[in-house]
Amino acid sequence: MKENNFKKIQELLSKNYWKLITISDLQKLLNTLFESQQNMNQFYKTIYYLKNKWFLTSLKKELFLIKNPKKDLTEFDIENTYYRKILKKHCSLYCNTARYIWWLTALEINYTDKIPEIPEEIIIFNKKKQSKEVVMFEKKVIFKKYEVNGKNLIPTLLKNIKKKKTVWWIIAYANLELSILETLYNLDTNNKTYIENLIIKTLKKYKKNYQTKNLEEILKTGKFNSPANRFLKLIIPLFPDLADEVRKIIKKCGYLL
């Protein structure tokens, strides 16, 4: 790249340090700067040059962070600053439907009453979409949907969400009863012990808040009989009174295993 052109770009980017920019917006900026349309080969060479000079960091496909090359930020710093903003934008663009945070992240929020550390993968239950996508760097979002006999369960399960206001947006997440069943839905050896211990700690802390009526409504969907039985076996030694109630609800809405 010619030195004069680089200085022009440097001056332009210096007015936008630490801002996010899409590849299409960057292309528009450069076309305006040079008052001409760059061909794609020139454009990608410019991106490559700017990344090597530490002016751009690629966060995901077609999204960059404009950096100040004189100030070094680690990947951890960048994630903590931009992850939640990017996740919100990603969901708005690619999953613009009713949704909530699902599975282990929801259970951790119920236990701590705080937004947890940024997970490697966050699972979001929604009405329409099932896919795994990149949020930024190596962090991913998994979109899930539930159906039983062709019926989408989002209208029923949305009755079992809670909301928490953050500086980024208002998040919706599964309540205590639903998050427990969801984390027990697919257990493997890598997370079984952690999940079971977290459920026990959460119940010890919030047992009085556990609503068996919510459990009953969830089991009526026909989706959670197996995790409900796992839950029953887990709580029998420590919470016998609650276990009796859970057993009755399983018999009423499903079957004991």
Average pLDDT, the chain: 91
pLDDT number for residue 137: 95
Helix (H/G/I), strand (E/B), else coil: 179: helix
pLDDT number for residue 144: 92
Contact partners, residue 244, CB within 8 Å, separation at least 6: none
Q: Residues 116-156: pLDDT tens digits?
A: 789 999 999 999 899 999 999 999 999 998 888 888 999 88
Q: Does 229 have pLDDT greater than 70?
A: yes
Q: Does 2 have pLDDT greater than 80?
A: no
pTM: 0.83
Cα 254 to chain centroid distance, Å, stands at: 31
Average pLDDT estimate for 111-117: 87
Give the C-alpha separation, 211 to 230, whole Å.
18
Longest dimension (CA), the chain: 77
Q: Residues 35-81: pLDDT tens digits?
A: 777 788 888 988 998 999 889 999 998 999 999 988 888 999 999 99
240's tokens? 């016998």
Evaluate whether 154 touches 121 at the Cβ level (below 8 Å): no
Positive or negative CA dihedral for 56, 59, 61, 63?
A: negative
108 versus 39: the higher-pLDDT residue is: 108
DSSP string, 185-247: TS--TTTHHHHHHHHHHHHHHHGGG--HHHHHHHHTTSS-HHHHHHHHHHHTTT-HHHHHHHH
Q: How confident is the model at residue 95 (pLDDT cuts 50, 70, 90)?
A: very high
Give the C-alpha separation, 201 to 179, whole Å.
14
Burial 221-234 (b: 16+ CB within 10 A, else e): eebbbebbbbbbeb
Q: How confident is the model at residue 1 (pLDDT cuts 50, 70, 90)?
A: low
Give the C-alpha separation, 244 to 256, whole Å.
12
Q: Does 211 have pLDDT greater than 90?
A: yes
Q: How confident is the model at residue 251 (pLDDT cuts 50, 70, 90)?
A: very high
Please state the φ and ψ torsions of residue 141, each to the nearest 5 degrees.
-115, 135
How does DSSP classify residue 120?
Answer: S
pLDDT number for residue 125: 92
pLDDT number for residue 90: 93
* Complete domains list, the chain, with CATH: 3-73 (1.10.10), 78-253 (no CATH)
